[in-house]
Homo-oligomer: A and B are copies of this chain.
Amino acid sequence: MTDPFMQAAIEEAKKGLAEGGIPIGSVLVIDGKIVGRGHNQRVQQGSAILHAEMHCLEQAGRLSPADYKKATLYSTLSPCDMCSGTALLYGIPTIVVGENKTFQGPEDYVRSRGVKLTILQDAECIQLMEDFIASSPELWYEDIGKE
């Protein structure tokens, strides 16, 4: 059975896919409650910075530094340099990741900065990305800045 918060992140990823976007989703949880949800907005908003985690944090709005310190960030995919850096900026102590098979962010560095990072290696998350990368490689490379 999937973690209910990861399930909510997967629902976000599927929303993104249904919109013609990149199927990565994220939720932010504080005190056992989802306070922000988001999914990649590269296609939908023509955005260069709204990865799922960024969209989620933006949707959560301006939180106090203390709020972030007790938050958990869920993402269907291993957070990239940008999204990892954002978690570090705000001192989010815990990150739960759907999978890191199709893409791996700077996990060792994030852990070295004191973050607890857990990889679920969820089959549904992997399938979403494998299908997407196979069908839209150029869009995917653009999203991760890869030539």
Known: A48-B57, A81-B89, A85-B82. A42 touches B65 (CB 8 A): no
Q: Flag if B85 contacts A62 (CB, 8 Å).
A: no
Residues of B within 8 A of A64 (CB): 142
The 7 residue pairs across chains A and B that have the minimum distance between CB atoms? A85-B85, A90-B145, A81-B88, A81-B85, A82-B86, A81-B89, A82-B89
* Complex copy number for this chain: 2
Q: In the bound complex, what is the Cα–Cα distance between A145 and B70 (angstroms)?
A: 12
Q: Kindly supply a per-residue 1/0 record for chain A positions 29-67, scoring 1 wherever the CB is within 8 Å of any chain B CB and 0 otherwise.
A: 000000000000010001111100010011011111110
Q: Flag if B63 contacts A48 (CB, 8 Å).
A: yes
Residues of B within 8 A of A144 (CB): 89
Residues of B within 8 A of A106 (CB): 88
